[in-house]
Structure 1
């Protein structure tokens, strides 16, 4: 694995991001079953049928240095509530994408996503010295697009007919990014938002 991106645990007030492991299989399916997230046609969330291949692909990409997947743990309940990862790793050009993110329905719109992304962005810019961090999402995934914009990312463009999904549908992919020159301002904004949420 590329030594630039090694397994790491990231911890905040609300969540812990721990390296994804096969031993988390049952807990991941339980989290995804809250809202039956795998039924969303425009996103890829593991179901009881797909969890094994989901883990195999994530861990294989990690071994190849192409990704670093995490399980997201709610510190209050000490339970897994979702998953996220660094992917499309480009060590030479110091770029990563944050994606493949999903949360149990009960964890959505709770401040958990903001803190998770903050921890990953902070690590990417301040430990890995990234020059840019990318986010990509399905054109039709409006909740995800809005969440990415709320983080402070800017839209780079739309890759039209970027992929073909399992049903034969063409996927337009919306690309966003945050640059290292923007991180200080984005960090201040995220810390302000998180401070408000911690205060209730």
Structure 2
């Protein structure tokens, strides 16, 4: 049986999302080093020593049909600026999560995240025929929570004591979603924002 999540390239005006490949490692390290993103305690961005294991996990989950990791490329410079992926794929119930997203500091709040999410949502609803797309983030990651709300997602609730991080901190996870019945309106809103140069 064909996998539900098949490696594919998604392209917009600002960015190109290419299936993650091990050859992307050096450029991903360089992108994550812009702002030392791994130092943000409420996010999971790989540090240079952890990039191999980070990519190994992403690619093994892809092989298992659970995720589809992408490398984000800035079309203006043709340089890798971050990563994102489909997670927790549920083909039977046609649901998927968009997450593990991070960008080099220099391209944050430039409109790149809006276009990335637009491309991923469009593919999820119009090609994968999803009935719902989820977003999850750390309770304390307020920039991420606000960005998800600006996309048009609705908060469903908070999963309290959802995870224990590497430092032993308990993480509350905020769950958001967009339903297939909402996609037409969300799509219109995102296209309007992108046309006007909307930020993250």
Distance 1:5 1:22 in 2: 19
Q: Which whole-Å deviations, capped at 9, do the CAs of 1:100-127 have from their partners, x for residues lacking one?
A: 0000001100000000000000000000
The yes-or-no answer on 1:139 pairing with 2:136 is: no
Consecutive unaligned residues in structure 1, runs of 5 or more: none
Q: CA deviation at 1:2?
A: 5.6
CA RMSD of aligned residues (A): 1.0
Aligned pairs for 1:37-116 (under 5 A) are: 37-116=37-116
Q: CA deviation at 1:18?
A: 0.1
Distance 2:83 2:192 in 1: 24
Q: Which residue of 2 aligns with 1:173?
A: 173
After TM superposition, the structure 1 stretch with the greater mean CA deviation from structure 2, 41-50 or 139-148, is 41-50
Calculate the TM-score normalised by the size of structure 1: 0.98
Aligned residues: 198
Calculate the TM-score normalised by the size of structure 2: 0.98
Consecutive unaligned residues in structure 2, runs of 5 or more: none
SS at match of 1:81: strand
Contact 1:2 / 1:65 at 8 angstroms: preserved in 2? no
Q: Which residue of 2 aligns with 1:130?
A: 130
SS at match of 2:102: strand
Could you list the runs of 4 or more consecutive aligned residues of structure 1 that deviate by over 3 angstroms after TM superposition?
A: none
Q: Which whole-Å deviations, capped at 9, do the CAs of 1:60-95 have from their partners, x for residues lacking one?
A: 000000000000000000000000000000000000
Distance 1:124 1:28 in 2: 25
Distance 1:94 1:117 in 2: 18
